Amino acid sequence: MQLKSMRQLAKIIALLALTAPAWTAGAVAPMIATGYSSCVFLNADGTVWGTGNVTNYWPGATSPVPLLQLPNIVAVATGDTDFAVLADGTLWGSGYNSNGQLGDGSTQYRSQPQQVPGLSGVVAVAAWNHVLALKADGTVWGLGTNGNGQLGTEPEQTSTSRFRQLD
């Protein structure tokens, strides 16, 4: 099958995410996410740990440290910023915000997790110096740097306060 658009890929990923076998009630599917110089781990008990240049640990944590201490985390991502998707479909983030990837209209570093405004129904997230959020309806939304067109618009149109739907 040849993918014709980002939307088609997102629908396939959403279908897989929504139809994956269920874990034991109350458990979380463990996962690992890596960034340029960081790594985060989501454990089955919902706790998140990180190594490397994760939020509040610069120049880097050489042993796992607790991160994103929020309830009901179901997915994580890391890049310049650490992100968590909660079971209620909200997206939370902390760390570098130099490209506005936290969606609060600023570029200020955030040492504590904050909810990313204007987005709900999130089932998966990917991050670097931008963030892509996959919603349960199969749409993909992006925010942050866009130097290479990663937000699906002309390069250099960085978005710091409003998510854009990618086609």
Say if residue 2's pLDDT is above 60.
Answer: no
Q: 11 is in which domain, residue-wise?
A: 6-19+27-166
CATH of the domain at 42: 2.130.10.30
Per-residue confidence band for 27, with pLDDT thresholds at 50, 70 and 90: low
Q: Is 98 within a domain?
A: yes
Torsion, Cα of 69, 103, 154, 164 (10° steps): 90
Reduced to 3 states (helix: H, G, I; strand: E, B; else coil), residue 31 is strand
Burial class (CB in 10 A: 0-12, 13-18, 19+), 62: exposed
What is the value of pTM for the model shown?
Answer: 0.79
Q: What is the pLDDT of residues 44-78, one digit of tens each?
A: 888 898 888 887 777 777 888 888 889 999 999 98
Q: What is the model's pLDDT at position 34?
A: 83
Q: What is the model's pLDDT at position 7?
A: 52
What span, in angstroms and rounded, lies between the C-alpha atoms of 56 and 72?
22
Of 119-123, 142-146, 155-159, give the range with the top mean pLDDT. 119-123
Q: What mean pLDDT value characterizes the chain?
A: 79
Per-residue confidence band for 128, with pLDDT thresholds at 50, 70 and 90: confident
User: Structural domain tally of the chain?
Assistant: 1
Contact yes or no for 162/118 (Cβ under 8 A):
yes
Q: Is 160 within a domain?
A: yes
Rounded alpha-carbon distances, angstroms, from residue 12 to 57, 61, 84, 119: 36, 36, 21, 21
